[in-house]
Amino acid sequence: MNIKKMAIGCDHAGFPYKDSIKALLQGRGIEVTDYGTNSLDSVDYPDFIHPVADDVEKEKVDLGIILCGSGNGASMTANKHQGIRAALCWSNEIAALARQHNDANILSLPVRFVSEAEAHEMVNTFLDTAFEGGRHARRVGKIACV
């Protein structure tokens, strides 16, 4: 997958990593739509996650990254969208498997539980890992509720 555009969004807990991840993406030549938040002031994560999921679902961007304290609220919110497969990742191996086996289209990062360096490693792995297809495609095809 040749990734050209991505969306990113976070709550106040995810904000400390957002700008460095955004810079990492831009350094790879990726155009980034930033939905905020832009401070440590307490906010409601769905307000910043839904726009990312909308962009991915409507194919305005290739992939998304969402961040919150545990990563759970962000991934639960994104996964309410029919075309989204947001993966909560806490290790590089999980990030690779999320792409290889689940064709994840949004990476959810638990900022309070991973270092910034680990988050960057997971972002790079998420971007560089392709979906394997095959038996996994059949399974991914059964995820959506229609």
Domains of the chain plus CATH, in order, are 5-140 (3.40.1400.10)
Element (H, E) at 108: strand 106-110
What pLDDT score does 143 carry? 78
Between helix 116-128 and helix 92-102 the angle, nearest 10°, is: 20
- Just list the catalytic residues: 68, 101
Contact 37, 74 (CB under 8 A): no
What pLDDT score does 3 carry? 92
The strand ranges marked E within 35-105 are 63-68, 86-88
Q: Give bridge partners of residue 66 from the DSSP assignment.
A: 9, 108
Q: What is the mean pLDDT of each run of 10 residues along the chain (146 residues)?
A: 94 97 98 96 96 98 97 96 96 96 96 98 96 77 76
Joined together, the tokens standing for residue 93 give 């191996």
What pLDDT score does 137 carry? 76
